[in-house]
Amino acid sequence: MTIEFKNDSILKIGTKTAQKEGYQLLDCQLTIHAICPRCQRALVPA
Ligand SMILES: [Zn+2]
């Protein structure tokens, strides 16, 4: 499963990083790849 969300501090970091290189930030996103507890148990049987 993939969760995408936008966050002000992520955007600020992205803008700062882009400006350092002389770029102008157009879009910035943080992607989290995660697995729910139920699927974790299915993958790794205790
Ligand atoms: Zn699941």
pTM above 0.75, yes or no: no
The 8-class DSSP code of residue 9 comes to H
What is the pLDDT, as a whole number, of residue 43?
Answer: 87
Cβ atoms within 10 Å of 27's Cβ, excluding its own = 7
Q: What is the pLDDT along the chain (46 residues), one digit of tens a residue?
A: 555 556 678 778 888 888 898 988 887 777 778 899 999 999 877 6
Distance from the CA of 1 to the center of ligand 1, in angstroms?
8
Distance from the CA of 8 to the center of ligand 1, in angstroms?
28
Q: Which domain holds residue 12?
A: 2-43
Question: How far apart, in whole angstroms, are the C-alpha atoms of residue 43 and residue 34?
Answer: 13
Number of domains in the chain: 1
- 39 Cβ contact list (under 8 Å, min separation 6): none
Nearest to 33 by CA among 5, 13, 12: 5
What is the pLDDT, as a whole number, of residue 25?
Answer: 81
Question: How far apart, in whole angstroms, are the C-alpha atoms of residue 4 and residue 31?
Answer: 5
